[in-house]
Amino acid sequence: MTGASTPADPAPANPRRAEVVRRTAETQITVRVNLDGAGRATLATGIGFFDHMLDQIARHGMIDLDIQAQGDLHIDGHHTVEDVGITFGQAVYQAVGDKRGIRRYGHAYVPLDEALSRVVVDFSGRPGLVMNVPFKSGMIGTFDSQLAHEFFQGFANHAFVTLHIDNLRGENAHHQCETVFKAFARALRVALELDPRSGSSVPSTKGSL
């Protein structure tokens, strides 16, 4: 038909996006997430390797992620990494809402050369972290490998998820850490996907999460 146009796709009734700002005497952090994004990332934490890991979460989790952080890096990276984990967890918790229609559970195995890691996540409403990653080096660039635990602990506590992280093998700390973050991203993507078979139901026999 002459002059006919195709209507634009309607916007989601409840877009799964959130913005959280955290201000303390140690850090100033802003996190924006879009759970239904295209894997785009804008990252500035002041810790190059940490930005690289956050980029893995965006890219492999298909989450649009904007993280701007200023922290007391003249001391070390602890407060910055931990507080980014907290703020990212809060943003995901807000964006996912009442969890209607999500798959809830996600798991992934990811290799990188000699390293292999497994991550399992449950949007259970019960925060908990079990992490077994025997890093072969204390430092990865300027990133203290112990801070990976602090990031995931902050995320689990504030996204209210149960999170199990295991590095099954690996000799290079960079590879170990990257497989962990990539597997986390893939598990997150699966858990947060909307399941067309479940409609708007909550994935729990209790009726709420």
Secondary structure of 160-206 as H, E, C letters: CCEEEEEEEECCCHHHHHHHHHHHHHHHHHHHHCECCCCCCCCCCCC
The residue whose two tokens read 């708007």 is 200
Q: What is the fold of 17-192?
A: Ribosomal Protein S5; domain 2 (3.30.230)
Query: What is the overall mean pLDDT for the chain?
Result: 93
Question: Rounded mean pLDDT of 122-142?
Answer: 97
> Distance between CA 55 and CA 49 in Å, rounded?
10
Note if the pTM is more than 0.75.
yes
Comparison of pLDDT for 10 and 167, the residue scoring more: 167
> Distance between CA 6 and CA 44 in Å, rounded?
40
How are the residues of the chain apportioned to helix, strand and coil, as percentages rounded to the nearest 5? 30, 30, 40
> What tokens does 88 get?
């990212």
Kindly list the domain boundaries of the chain, sorted by start residue.
17-192
Q: Given its phi and psi angles, is residue 199 left (phi above 0), alpha (psi -120 to 50 degrees) or beta? A: left
List pLDDT tens digits, range 26-69: 999 999 999 999 999 999 999 999 999 999 999 999 999 999 99
User: How many degrees, rounded to 5, is the angle at CA 152 between CA 57 and CA 86?
Assistant: 90
Torsion 197-200-206-209 (CA) sign: positive
Residue 203's pLDDT is 86
Contact 158, 83 (CB under 8 A): no
